[in-house]
Structure 1
Amino acid sequence: MLALILFLCLSVPALASQSYSIEDTYIGRDFFEWDWYTGSDPTHGIVEYVDKATAMDFNLSVGKSSDTSFLMRADNVNNVPPADPGRKSVRISSQRAYNDSVAVIDLWHMPQGCGTWPAWWTVSQKGPWPQGSEIDIIEGVNNNTRNLGSLHTTPNCNMTQTRKQRGQTVSTVCDTSANYNQGCGVEFKPNSYGLDFNANGGGWFAMLRSSRGIYMWFWARNDSNVPPEVSQGLSTVNPDESNWGVPDAAFPTDECDYVSHFNEHSIVFDLTFCGDWAGSAYSGSGCPSTCEDYVRNNPSMFDEAYWEISWLRMYTPNPDTAV
Structure 2
Amino acid sequence: MRAKFSALLLPAIFVLLTSAQLFPDPATYVLKDKFVGRDFLNGFNWETFDDPTHGRVNYVDKNTALQRGLTSASDTKFFMRADNKTMVAPGARGRDSVRITSYQAYGDGIYILDLSHMPEGCSTWPAWWSTSQQGPWPQGGEIDIIEGVNIGATNLASLHTTPGCSMPPYRLQAGTAVSASCDTSVNSNQGCGTSLRYGTYGTSFNVAGGGYFAMRRARDHGISVWYIKRDPFLLPDGPDPDFLISRIPDASFPTGNNCNYQDHFNDHNVIFDLTFCGDWAGSVWGTSSCANAAPTCTAFVDNNPSAFSNAYWEINSLKIYTPVGPPLITP
Within a 5 Å distance, the mapping from 1:175-254 to structure 2 comes to 175-211=183-219, 212-222=221-231, 228=235, 232=237, 237-238=241-242, 241=245, 243=246, 245-254=247-256
> Structure 1 residues 203, 233: CA separation in 2 closer, same or farther (over 3 Å shift)?
closer
- Once residues 161 and 237 of structure 1 are traced to their aligned partners in structure 2, the CA distance between those partners, rounded to angstroms, is 27
Contiguous gaps of at least 5 residues in structure 2 = 1-7
Within a 5 Å distance, the mapping from 1:40-119 to structure 2 comes to 40-64=50-74, 67-119=75-127
Name the structure 1 match of 2:279.
Answer: 276
- Once residues 280 and 232 of structure 2 are traced to their aligned partners in structure 1, the CA distance between those partners, rounded to angstroms, is 30
Task: Report SS of the residue matched to 1:119.
Answer: strand
Task: Report SS of the residue matched to 2:217.
Answer: strand
Task: Report SS of the residue matched to 2:283.
Answer: helix
Within a 5 Å distance, the mapping from 1:132-143 to structure 2 comes to 132-143=140-151
Q: Is residue 212–residue 238 contact of structure 2 (8 Å, CA) maintained in 1?
A: no
Residue range with higher mean Cα deviation, 116-125 or 12-21 = 12-21
Aligned residue pair count: 313
The percent identity for this pair of structures is: 51
1:285 aligns with 2:288: yes
Name the structure 2 match of 1:13.
Answer: 20
Task: Report SS of the residue matched to 1:301.
Answer: helix
Residue range with higher mean Cα deviation, 55-64 or 112-121 = 55-64
Shift of residue 222, structure 1, vs aligned partner: 4.2
Q: Map Cα deviations across residues 268-301 of structure 1 (whole Å, 9 max, x no partner).
A: 0000000000000111110021100101110000
Letter in 1 for 2:277: C
- Look at both structures and tell me which one has the larger radius of gyration over its CA atoms: 2
Q: Is residue 226–residue 244 contact of structure 2 (8 Å, CA) maintained in 1?
A: no
- Aligned-residue Cα RMSD (Å) equals 1.6
Name the structure 2 match of 1:257.
Answer: 260
Task: Report SS of the residue matched to 1:41.
Answer: coil
- Once residues 223 and 56 of structure 1 are traced to their aligned partners in structure 2, the CA distance between those partners, rounded to angstroms, is 32
**Among residues 35, 43, 59, which one is paired with 2:45 in the alignment?**
35
**Among residues 145, 150, 158, which one is paired with 2:158 in the alignment?**
150
Structure 1 length-normalised TM: 0.93
Shift of residue 223, structure 1, vs aligned partner: 8.9
Shift of residue 40, structure 1, vs aligned partner: 0.1
Contiguous gaps of at least 5 residues in structure 1 = none
Name the structure 2 match of 1:302.
Answer: 308
Task: Report SS of the residue matched to 1:96.
Answer: strand
- Once residues 200 and 274 of structure 1 are traced to their aligned partners in structure 2, the CA distance between those partners, rounded to angstroms, is 26
Shift of residue 161, structure 1, vs aligned partner: 1.8
Q: Is residue 218–residue 248 contact of structure 1 (8 Å, CA) maintained in 2?
A: yes
